Amino acid sequence: MKWFQFLSGCCLALLFTIQSTPGLAQESATSEPLPLQFARRDLTRWTTQVEVSVKTVVERQAALDAASKAVADAKAAQQAADKAVVDAAAAITAAELAKVAAEKALADAVEKKKVADAAKAAADAKVPVAEQAVKPATDAKAAAENAAALVQQQLKIAQERVAAIEKGPITPVPATTRLLNTLTHDRPVMACRFDSLGNSLFVGAQDNSFHRWDIFAGPMLHQPGHGSWVGAIQLLPKLNQAVTGGHEGKLTWWGDLDSTPKVVRTVDAHKGYLRAIAVSPDGTLVATGGNDNMVRVWSAADGSLVKELPGHERHVYNVAFHPSGKFLISGDLVGVLKQWEVGPWTLIRDLDAKVLWKFDAGFQADVGGIRAIDFSPDGKLLAVGGITEVSNAFAGVGVPAVVLFDFEAGKQLRVMKPKDNFQGSVYSLRFHPTEPFIVAAGGGNGASLWFWKYDEEKSFADVKLPGVAYDMTLHPDGLRLAVAMFDKTLRIYDMGPKIEPPPAPAAK
């Protein structure tokens, strides 16, 4: 670069010298020696060459500067590219890490979606279930409200009853008998007995079980214990026990009646249907009758067999102890009653109630029998119930009847029938403990309670029932009675006089 500047300076000085000496050029052309002229000419030529060279050098310098700048720019671009590469590599690394995180997040999101889908499906499934629960809940609320209303109604009746009794003694009025309460079951009810306090009903039904109902709170306990229907039941108050008889022929003792009844013992009492149970007045003996034509007597305390009493030719339908405890009566399918002396167990006599039996030649079948039995409280009268005037054994078409005996004389007093036309049978009867009438329950083409005075053949009061009554028991108060019914209910009726509610206070 310095050489180029020096050469450029010399050429410029020489050119200035030649141009500033005009006479020299002219003189050279005319008088200078040729060597000088040629020398001058050479100088001019070289001067021109120098100019060309200087120009070339300038151009090349410019090109060099441009190239140097291009190199510098390229290096800068290279550095930038290097940085871009590093940045890009870092970005790739970050992107790869982000991709891993994103893939995990995606997998988590997919799993969460599955869980959410499952939760939604479960929630979707719950909606119709919840919707379906609305009606039962509504029905349950309505039932609870209805039950509360019934309880209030029973409370009002109880209050009115107490108020009326406080004014003076109340005696039963059969004609005003009315329904107090209904206890429902899921199978037909066959036998029932009140406890001594009148708070509970002990029940046998067509479900092979022993039941205890609290008449205030509804169903309480249902205990399995038989292999077939339970059609007979009696209480042993002194032992706080009950005995039940099943169609399979077993006699079962139940204990812990006040808490949770449990089977104490079971004996094979009869071959076939055990139809009836009776307990002696002192509570020490249990008598049974069944389809094997036998009467058997058992120890109430330990279940041992005391005596077997053969003699009936047909199924034994009913048994009853005399209130004195001295005699046992058994009645069979063909209306024969046998009187046994308790202790010696000798047969004293037969009583004839064959009006309650018929052999239907068309069907080749017996119909009737001693379906119900009871003694008057003083033991002077014996009543047995069933069906008479049978016209169709298969359909049970006949007239309900109670045969009344003077027990001491062994004489039939009268055959008592409903005052109104009715087709069916008496299945249960009881002497009222303090009033001179008999109440019976039964059914056929309908169902009814019938009431007879001792000296009348026609009932003086009939109360329609909604279903056939298999059994009936009197409450200890002598005013109420419970009926075990084929329509799967226990119905409690009140024979007390109708108590009119007190008048509302006058408005002031």
Question: How does pLDDT run across 104-134, given as a tens digit for each residue?
Answer: 878 887 888 888 788 778 877 877 877 777 7
Q: What is the mean pLDDT of the chain?
A: 87
Output the CATH code of domain 173-494.
Answer: 2.130.10.10
Distance CA 404, CA 438 (A): 10
Question: How does pLDDT run across 244-288, given as a tens digit for each residue?
Answer: 999 999 999 999 998 899 999 999 999 999 999 999 999 999 999
Radius of gyration in angstroms for the set of CA atoms belonging to the chain, rounded to a whole number: 61
Give me the helix-helix angle, 22-30 and 2-19, nearest 10°. 70
Distance CA 316, CA 310 (A): 10
* Predicted pLDDT of residue 132: 79
Question: How does pLDDT run across 183-232, given as a tens digit for each residue?
Answer: 999 999 999 999 999 999 999 999 999 999 998 876 678 999 999 999 99
> Which phi-psi region, left, alpha or beta, contains residue 306 (left: φ > 0; alpha: ψ -120 to 50)?
alpha
How distant, in Å, are the alpha carbons of 125, 133, 308, 403, 406 from that of 471? Answer: 49, 39, 26, 18, 24
- φ and ψ at 490, to 5 degrees? -110, 125
Burial of 266 (0-12, 13-18, 19+ CB in 10 A): middle
- Amino acid found at 41: R
Domain boundaries, the chain: 1-131, 173-494
Q: Give the tokens for residue 27.
A: 């003189």
pLDDT at 2 over 50: no
- Whether the CA torsion 238, 244, 249, 252 is positive or negative: it is negative
246 HSE (CA, 13 A, CB side): 20
DSSP summary character for residue 458: B
Distance CA 78, CA 71 (A): 10
Higher-confidence residue: 42 or 424?
424
- Identify any residues that bridge with 306 across adjacent strands, giving them in sequence order: none
How distant, in Å, are the alpha carbons of 19, 28, 214 from that of 48? Answer: 14, 19, 145
> Which phi-psi region, left, alpha or beta, contains residue 364 (left: φ > 0; alpha: ψ -120 to 50)?
left
Angle ∠(489,490,496) on CA atoms, nearest 5? 135
Please give the helix or strand (H or E) that residue 451 lies within, else none: strand 447-453
* Predicted pLDDT of residue 378: 98
> pTM to 2 decimals?
0.71
Q: How confident is the model at residue 300 (pLDDT cuts 50, 70, 90)?
A: very high
pLDDT at 342 over 70: yes
Q: Give the tokens for residue 166.
A: 């406080």
- Amino acid found at 284: T
Question: How does pLDDT run across 476-503, given as a tens digit for each residue?
Answer: 999 999 999 999 999 999 998 876 554 5
